[in-house]
Structure 1
Amino acid sequence: MANQISEEVAAKANAIKEEANTFFANKKYEDAIEKYTEAIELNPNIAAYYANRAFAHTKLEAYGAAILDGDKAVEVDPKYAKGYYRRGVGKYALARYKEAAKDFRIVVKLAPNDKDAKLKLEDCEKTVARLAFERAIANNEVVKKVSDTLDLKSILVEDSYDGVRIDDGQITKEFVDDMIERFVAQKKIHKRFAYEIVLQARKHFMEQPSLVDVDIPKDHKLTICGDVHGQFYDFVNIFRLNGRPSETHAYLFNGDFVDRGTFSLEIILTLFAYKLLYPTGMYLTRGNHETDDMNKVYGFEDEVKAKFSETMFKIFSETFATLPLAHLVQKKIFVVHGGLSSRDDVTLDEIRNIDRIGKGQPGQGGLMSELLWADPQPLPGRSPSVRGVGQRFGPDVTENFCKMNNIDMIIRSHEVKHQGYHVEHGGRCVTIFSAPNYCDSVGNKGAFINIAPDKEKTYSLDYVQFDAVEHPKTQPYGNRFRAGF
């Protein structure tokens, strides 16, 4: 039975809800969540309050929290279509396609004229059918990797192609410089060269362990960058501000190169090309967005299909599965995209020996998934993540991991920070985020960390902040489903 609320309290709650709506409209989602929560505490009987808060959680990728709010909305009002809709979006984002389809089916029944819900239901049903078909094939025969069957020699480069070419498989500085200029001008490279870059990168990463050691020689420098999420023009600006990769200046990009922004393909091809040009001048960590589930929802799959082909996306998927999961810098800094495990006994050697290639996709549980999805929290211990995958870990967890593995700190990414970086857990945990004005809406700074050998200790850290730059205005990929995000 609903709580009895006076007209005065109900009116106050509604006024606070309107404040929350204003925050939401201005893309201040955390403030909106705070206000929706105030309204709910005053009047827990309004399903729309929970659905609105679920939408704000979705904007912050807190899908677990969005699902819980969807649960509450339909508990308050079992015929409230938007509650099922918000819950379905959260489940879809976490690749829970069958469950999402059930919610969208209810929405279509309650609101037969909702075209968007019909499209989402159709998308879910097609995805469920495709995954079932792929599982059936995998159970009945050995499925060959597309990467192992593609014949590059059959792809001819027309005489009219005006870019620098790859000859005899050799990536040159001239080629990489020309490729970046083409991308800045919104031009593509030939598909033959794109395939060659990705296939060579896959071969290289397959030979690396899941935890890669990075040593910085004397008079060299390493720059660590966080998420860049398809923001190619901000990505190039990092090199403009800080210098391009070279034999003496290495970069480590810590996951989430793709999705969200509309120039993900340009970023990942540039990163792979630099890795091939300077094997010890570019290091790449897998992020939670270098996965099939995220690429389907957040645009990279559709972007690659639009700019090249489905075959190209399959090869990217197979290559992302070979990316290392973490790096160890100067034997003292553990660099990982998400964070720490739900277990206290995880060693660097265990991480180093994870069979990431055999597993392929990280799934939503276990050590590999946790490394990609976890987030720090200020309180001790661990708690469930609002994302719906992974968990949150406190300063005591970080301290224990560092002491047990004889390291100083962890550097991770995965979360937008207003200043571009954030230091917590007594200096043991640093978040670095390198996509300024994230999604053209958050207004945050980007940042990177320059690390160099130090005479008095193993290394020194220098944090550098930067602002967003202008870029061409384009429509997001994957927009048919993204309407609900």
Structure 2
Amino acid sequence: MPTMESESSIVSRAEELKSSANEAFKAHKYSQAIDLYSQAIELNDQNAVYWANRAFAHTKLEEYGSAIHDATKAVETDPKYSKGYYRRGAAYLAMGKFKEALKDFQQVKRICPNDPDAAKKLKECEKAVMKLKFEEAIAVPVAQRRSVADSIDYRSIEVEPQYSGASIEGDTVTLEFVKKMLEDFKNQKCLHKRYAFQIVLQTRELLRTLPSLVDINVPDGKNFTVCGDVHGQFYDLLNIFELNGLPSEDNPYLFNGDFVDRGSFSLEVILTLFAFKCMCPSAMYLARGNHESRSMNKIYGFEGEVRSKLSETFVELFAEVFCCLPLAHVINQKVFVVHGGLFSVDGVKLSDIRAIERFCEPPEEGLMCEVLWSDPQPNLGRGPSKRGVGLSFGPDITKRFLQDNNLDLLVRSHEVKDEGYEIDHDGKLITVFSAPNYCDQMGNKGALIRFEAPELKPNIVTFSAVSHPDVKPMAYANNFLRMFS
């Protein structure tokens, strides 16, 4: 049995670890903070503060499933600890689970009836739930929805004589137009609605014809570049093109999902990628990420940004076009590229992915959900997702999938990495993330991968963030979520 003295030294050691974890958290070193809080919890798992603090660190890494688990532990340990409910409510909120969040903020208010901050957040949460109920009540069933794209005639939209921005002559998007548009965006000028409609509608036509899994052929001696999440960081996107050249027939790119949300220049990013797709379809390949969805865009800023810079019609149009994005790509029958990861069942073949009916909002389970949401784990087998959606898959799962489909490498994105990339699963899996200093606070580098045929050996290039105009990330996000940013 431990003596009183050894018990007190364990408690004080746990407190030291918590203090170190708090320092790491303040320095935005969230993974390090999680490790230190975990060590404190191992020594003393009856301290609700440790659980709630670790939950907060998980939230910062977008690991909302783990955050909910830890916050639940905090309130089980001490049912009167308001921060436990607060952290869990914030994590539910980030997942768009407003009704569950509301229950937790009601509990915070009960425990702290005189806390003005708790009252304010509860009121905002109540408003969000009311809005959700209203939207559900007036929603048209999916089967009866008419395509907004079919109702738009961009040619009938007048361009005012005083408009001096980038213009498309006729039906063809040219390099000259794209360069002028990029220059205008750089100077925070808007593109005329007529041309924005034209780009988005032409992109929709191109994407609709593609299968859910696209085969890419790179001729011998030619390069192909894969980029990860950009998340509305337009000025970092320009930097990628500065470092690696503009997209062209000879310099093709694949952007692997999560083009929008969080960063406050998401509209500029998506119009740029779509314009290159229109200019030369084989210069720009685009995959769907988990943020190319209505539910994410509603919370994380893209919907608000589009409404602010363009119109409600564009909100609907982008939601429609995002449902046309392919889910995966295979380069030269060797490299499998997908936004999230692998599957909860063995034996999935490329033909199964090609057969996915993708023209819908992402479901909460099944192959399409897993492609967009899953993450690798170091342990063998499969585990629950730290995000609360999808799953975690180990090196054996990666190896088996690659063997079953006669592939060499899995490339995915979806997770911020300090160096902009990470190689896992015995070198068979690479995560690439292309939004440096993510959300203006993570301090990470960005990365891209250049493959040269026929070897397709990954050549990873890293880069740092560049400055951008003083518009903060999440500037257009759901008002309630911004209160937690």
TM bin (shorter chain): over 0.9
Higher deviation after alignment, 439-448 or 184-193:
439-448
1:282-318 alpha-carbon deviations (Å, 9 max, x no partner): 0001011111222222221122122122221221111
Q: Is the CA contact 2:334–2:409 (under 8 Å) kept in the aligned structure 1?
A: yes
Structure 1 pair 98–363 and aligned structure 2 pair: CA distance change class (3 A): farther
Measured after TM superposition, the shift of residue 244 of structure 1 is 0.4
Which one of 232, 239, 242 corresponds to residue 241 of structure 2?
239
Residue aligning to 2:435: 435
SS in 1 for 2:343: coil
> In structure 1, what is the Cα distance between the partners aligned to 2:334 and 2:12?
56
> In structure 2, what is the Cα distance between the partners aligned to 1:10 and 1:426?
39
Measured after TM superposition, the shift of residue 479 of structure 1 is 6.0
> In structure 1, what is the Cα distance between the partners aligned to 2:230 and 2:434?
5
Measured after TM superposition, the shift of residue 219 of structure 1 is 4.6
> In structure 2, what is the Cα distance between the partners aligned to 1:9 and 1:431?
38
Residue aligning to 1:461: 458
Q: Is the CA contact 2:335–2:409 (under 8 Å) kept in the aligned structure 1?
A: yes
Q: Is the CA contact 1:104–1:120 (under 8 Å) kept in the aligned structure 2?
A: no
Residue aligning to 2:92: 91
Measured after TM superposition, the shift of residue 169 of structure 1 is 2.6
Q: Residues 26-65 of structure 1 correspond to what in structure 2 (within 5 A)?
A: 26-65=27-66
Q: Is the CA contact 1:107–1:117 (under 8 Å) kept in the aligned structure 2?
A: no
Q: Which amino acid aligns with 1:132?
A: E
Residue aligning to 1:249: 251
> In structure 2, what is the Cα distance between the partners aligned to 1:17 and 1:218?
54
Q: Residues 125-204 of structure 1 correspond to what in structure 2 (within 5 A)?
A: 125-135=129-139, 137-138=140-141, 142-204=144-206
> In structure 2, what is the Cα distance between the partners aligned to 1:320 and 1:404?
30
1:65-111 alpha-carbon deviations (Å, 9 max, x no partner): 11011211211222322211211221222232322222223223333
SS in 2 for 1:192: helix
Q: Is the CA contact 1:93–1:294 (under 8 Å) kept in the aligned structure 2?
A: no
> In structure 2, what is the Cα distance between the partners aligned to 1:365 and 1:431?
22
SS in 1 for 2:387: coil
Measured after TM superposition, the shift of residue 259 of structure 1 is 1.3
> In structure 2, what is the Cα distance between the partners aligned to 1:23 and 1:120?
31
Residue aligning to 1:403: 403
Measured after TM superposition, the shift of residue 258 of structure 1 is 1.0
The TM-score normalised by the length of structure 1 is: 0.93
Measured after TM superposition, the shift of residue 348 of structure 1 is 0.3
1:315-360 alpha-carbon deviations (Å, 9 max, x no partner): 1111111100000101111110111111111110110111000xx1
Which one of 126, 139, 144 corresponds to residue 122 of structure 1?
126
Which one of 266, 274, 281 corresponds to residue 283 of structure 2?
281
Residue ranges of structure 2 left out of the alignment (5+ in a row): none
Structure 1 pair 218–8 and aligned structure 2 pair: CA distance change class (3 A): closer
**Corresponding position: 1:362 with 2:355:** no
Q: Is the CA contact 1:255–1:285 (under 8 Å) kept in the aligned structure 2?
A: yes
Q: Which amino acid aligns with 1:128?
A: L
Percent of pairs with identical residues: 51
> In structure 2, what is the Cα distance between the partners aligned to 1:167 and 1:432?
37
> In structure 2, what is the Cα distance between the partners aligned to 1:310 and 1:101?
28
Q: Which amino acid aligns with 2:136?
A: A
- Let me know the Cα RMSD of the aligned residues: 2.0
Q: Is the CA contact 1:98–1:128 (under 8 Å) kept in the aligned structure 2?
A: no
Residue aligning to 1:327: 329
Q: Which amino acid aligns with 1:241?
A: L
1:19-69 alpha-carbon deviations (Å, 9 max, x no partner): 222211111111111222233333333322222211110000000011011
Q: Which amino acid aligns with 2:350?
A: L
Structure 1 pair 123–220 and aligned structure 2 pair: CA distance change class (3 A): farther
Residue aligning to 1:107: 108
> In structure 1, what is the Cα distance between the partners aligned to 2:136 and 2:311?
23
> In structure 1, what is the Cα distance between the partners aligned to 2:105 and 2:363?
23
Residue aligning to 2:483: 483
Structure 1 pair 271–117 and aligned structure 2 pair: CA distance change class (3 A): same
> In structure 2, what is the Cα distance between the partners aligned to 1:88 and 1:146?
35
SS in 2 for 1:450: strand
1:391-432 alpha-carbon deviations (Å, 9 max, x no partner): 111111111111111111111111122222222222211111
Structure 1 pair 37–464 and aligned structure 2 pair: CA distance change class (3 A): same
SS in 1 for 2:426: helix
Structure 1 pair 479–96 and aligned structure 2 pair: CA distance change class (3 A): closer
Q: Is the CA contact 2:337–2:412 (under 8 Å) kept in the aligned structure 1?
A: yes
Measured after TM superposition, the shift of residue 6 of structure 1 is 5.1
Q: Is the CA contact 1:101–1:124 (under 8 Å) kept in the aligned structure 2?
A: no
Measured after TM superposition, the shift of residue 466 of structure 1 is 1.4
Measured after TM superposition, the shift of residue 9 of structure 1 is 4.1
1:358-402 alpha-carbon deviations (Å, 9 max, x no partner): xx1113211101001111122211111111111111111111111
SS in 2 for 1:463: strand
Q: Is the CA contact 1:108–1:117 (under 8 Å) kept in the aligned structure 2?
A: no
Measured after TM superposition, the shift of residue 474 of structure 1 is 1.2
SS in 2 for 1:280: helix
> In structure 2, what is the Cα distance between the partners aligned to 1:273 and 1:171?
7
Which one of 299, 302, 306 corresponds to residue 300 of structure 1?
302
Higher deviation after alignment, 166-175 or 368-377:
166-175
> In structure 1, what is the Cα distance between the partners aligned to 2:478 and 2:25?
20
Residue aligning to 1:215: 217
SS in 2 for 1:427: coil
Residue aligning to 1:338: 340
Measured after TM superposition, the shift of residue 8 of structure 1 is 4.8
Q: How many residue pairs end up in the alignment?
A: 475
SS in 2 for 1:128: helix
> In structure 2, what is the Cα distance between the partners aligned to 1:452 and 1:224?
11
1:239-282 alpha-carbon deviations (Å, 9 max, x no partner): 11111011211000111111121111111100000001011110
Measured after TM superposition, the shift of residue 119 of structure 1 is 4.1
> In structure 2, what is the Cα distance between the partners aligned to 1:154 and 1:26?
53
> In structure 1, what is the Cα distance between the partners aligned to 2:151 and 2:109?
42
